[in-house]
Amino acid sequence: MGTALERPRRRSKSAFAVLLIVLASVLAPLGVLSVWVKSQLTDTDRYLATVAPLAHDPAVRSAVTNLTTDQIMKYLPIDSLLNGLAPDDQSLLNGLLGQLGGALNDGLTGFVRGQVAQVVDSDAFAAVWVAVNRTAHASLDKALTGQGGGAVRISGDTVTLDLAPLIDQVKTGLVAGGLPLAAQIPEVHTDFVLVSSDTVGSVRLWFRLLDLAGFWLPVITLALALAGVLLARRRRRAVIGAALGIAGGAAVLGIGVDVFRAFYLDGLTAGVDQAAAGAIYDALARFLRSSVRTVVVLGVLVALGAWLTGRGRQARTVRGLWQAGLGAVRQAAERLGLRLGAVGRFTHRFKAWLGWAAVLVAVVVLLLRGYPTAGTVLWLAVALLVVLAVLEFLDEPGEAVGGYGSGRGEGDGDGDGQGPSDGQPPSSAGTSPTRYA
């Protein structure tokens, strides 16, 4: 009777565990997005690391040069050059300009463009770009929530950046280059387009919600996944499913970022530079793409680790090859005179706990990185494998009786959710009473 009543409860727990893991997988891309949004709003250094390289991008430099030249030429028409002349001289030159005005205007435009290009191609522009964006970051939150203010503004469906400091530097260069009339140009506020889309208004609301969620959404995602694993009957399989599900959710987000890029560029208005817009999009999405790769790599590694530590036939085969290879290396070292002695017996007795300690250190290092990359995860995985290999090499059991790996009770490791294979630290041969020869 007890067994019959227990079965529906186990099925309910298993179904709820699956539901929690699926929910964690669905929330994973939103968690990555919330971290990206929060980092761009609250971390000035992260924001500058995102946009600073744009100052050296050829497409952005070309777009800034064209925009700045057009803005300055609004205040430097050929007619303005005659204002300082006597009336008779103006009448005489007006007749000449009827034929030469176009050429003179082109020449003046070319001169101004050359001066602007010199400034934009210099280190001065990179400094101005960083300074403007540093100032703008303080008002970015207000702009994205529609409160306005600061150097970043949202007007209609366009997010713009004010490049007035660049105009001031160009004006100084024009005066020094032989055009004193440029000193009379008033303060010009140039709106350089960062983002232009008819969805800016609706995206702003989601942006704000993700900002409020911040770093809590990833924590909730991991908590749901952990709860699903703990409720599952076959916890190792649940770990593998949760890890792959979260990795898959992040991968879908990465695909969505690339697909949206094409739609975004196709929807730009005619006045927006396509090449510059693509460069800006890629810069703003760089950290997001890096986060996606990190989550995917981490999820795959966790799933692989859970599978390799299981009791399935393939996993045991892989572990046997690993142990046999390191055992052969150890035997070769022993033939050369290496004797592990007490170190080998100590390692054998506490190998499992030393292995878990290495895993814990790797997790702590990963968390302390703040914004880890996929490369960071891979290097930590390699370092962890090296530590585990050293532990296997130092393991000198002697003649052991009993313990984990003795061959008793080995199956697929996914039975009732109890034991070392399902959520408990895997014991080694040394965790049971051991007799050494």
pLDDT in tens, the chain (437 residues): 456 556 677 778 888 899 999 999 999 999 998 888 887 767 788 888 888 899 899 999 998 888 888 888 877 765 555 555 445 544 544 554 554 445 666 777 788 888 888 888 888 888 888 888 887 776 665 555 545 555 555 555 666 777 778 888 888 877 777 777 677 777 777 777 776 665 555 666 677 777 777 778 889 999 999 999 999 888 889 999 999 999 999 999 999 999 988 888 887 777 778 888 889 889 888 888 999 999 999 999 999 988 888 888 888 888 888 888 887 887 888 778 777 778 888 888 888 888 889 989 998 998 888 778 888 899 999 999 999 888 888 887 754 444 334 343 433 445 444 444 444 444 443 333 333 33
**Domain stop point among 138, 167, 198:** 198
In a domain, 257, yes or no: no
**Same domain, yes or no, for 50 and 194?**
yes
Q: How many CA atoms lie within 13 A of 107 on its CB side?
A: 7
Residue 204 maps to a domain: no
Q: What's the total number of domains in the chain?
A: 2
Closest of 223, 199, 203 to residue 211, by C-alpha: 203
- 327 found inside a domain: yes
Does the residue 270 lie in any domain?
A: no
Q: Beta-carbon neighbour count of residue 158 at 10 Å?
A: 17
Tell whether 67 is covered by a domain. yes
Q: Strands (DSSP E) along 130-223, which ranges?
A: 152-155, 158-162, 191-196
Residues 185 and 57 occupy one common structural domain:
yes
**What is d(CA 4, CA 2) in angstroms, rounded to the nearest whole number?**
5
Domain end position, chosen among 164, 182, 198: 198
The Cα–Cα gap between 218 and 24 comes to 9
Domain extent for 115: 46-198
What string of DSSP letters covers 264-310? HHHT--TTS-HHHHHHHHHHHHHHHHHHHHHHHHHHHHHHHHHHHTS
Which residues contact residue 163 at a Cβ distance below 8 angstroms, ignoring those fewer than 6 apart?
A: 64, 67, 68, 128, 132, 190, 191, 192
* Assigned domain for 252 exists: no
Would residue 41 count as lying in a domain?
Answer: no
Of the residues 198, 220, 247, which one is the last residue of a structural domain?
198
Does residue 278 form part of some domain?
A: no
SS3 159: strand
